[in-house]
Amino acid sequence: MKATTQCIVLCGGQSTRWHGYRHSRRKHLIEVEGEILLSRTLRLVTACAPIKPAVVVNKNDIDLFASQLSGKAELYRIDDDISYKTEAYKFLSSQELWNPNGRTVVLLGDVWFSEAAILTIFEDSREDWTAFGRAGPSLFTGCPHGELFAQKFTSCLEHRANLAQLDSMYRQGICRRAGSGWAHYQLMIGRNPNIHTVGRRFVEIDDFTEDFDCPSDYDSWVQGRSKAGLRQERGGFHAKLDVLI
């Protein structure tokens, strides 16, 4: 693991589909199996790498996140008025934090990561831009579609150039896709951002790692965990705890 790795966790969304479910106005801060979702991610990252992650939040949420994290991460505030920004802003918002001299790992803050998933992301040795996610329906969580959980890159120039292109395509109406992560991935592999394909620069993760976009995603995940008879166990990296083999 290179000491020059920068880890960024994106939590700048408005949680518009969450509707305060589980008594939390930000889904990144819900309690899952006895631990705050974002705290779990930070714990797994710091156990895997000698770094302090940077968490990107809306400026009006800074006090909320600070009270929950207790110094576990550096907080980076962004403008929460995104009415004039396109879908590409999700990733462009963190560009001041990208590592110009090493690796940058970007994690989505509303994802429950298994220990095995975090290891897969941080131990991947490829130097080129790589996405980590699930290509299609999950065999574990009940989610009927693919999800992107993280991306890794060493070339900030390539990463920024494709996001700038995506921003322009949104503004021109060429790209209409709501999921900017997948649109960005398509551009990174030289394909139409409006379609869904998986090819090179992609690492498959299909276990209980899941993106909680809305309450039904969380409820399906809980049902899947219960059916499998699994619960979170803290301490140590043991893939068998979070991954069915």
30, 129 contact by CB (below 8 A): no
pTM score of the predicted model = 0.89
Q: Which residues pair with 6 in a beta bridge?
A: 104
Pairing of strands 111-112, 210-211: antiparallel
CA 227 to mean position of chain CA atoms: 25
Pick one of 3.10.580.10, 3.40.47.10, 2.60.40.10, 3.90.550.10 as the CATH number of 6-229. Answer: 3.90.550.10
pLDDT on residue 113: 97
Instruction: Extract the runs of DSSP E, i.e. beta strands, from the chain.
Output: 6-11, 31-32, 35-36, 54-58, 74-78, 104-108, 111-112, 130-134, 147-153, 202-204, 210-211
Task: Please choose, from the candidates 161, 210, 170, 214, the residue with its C-alpha nearest in 3D space to the C-alpha of residue 188.
Answer: 161
Q: How confident is the model at residue 81 (pLDDT cuts 50, 70, 90)?
A: low
User: Tell me: the pLDDT tens digits for 127-179?
Assistant: 899 999 999 999 898 889 999 999 999 999 999 999 999 999 999 999 998 88
Helix (H, G, I), strand (E, B) or coil at 60: helix
User: Tell me: the pLDDT tens digits for 115-128?
Assistant: 999 999 999 988 89
Q: Hey, what are 230's tokens?
A: 């699994």
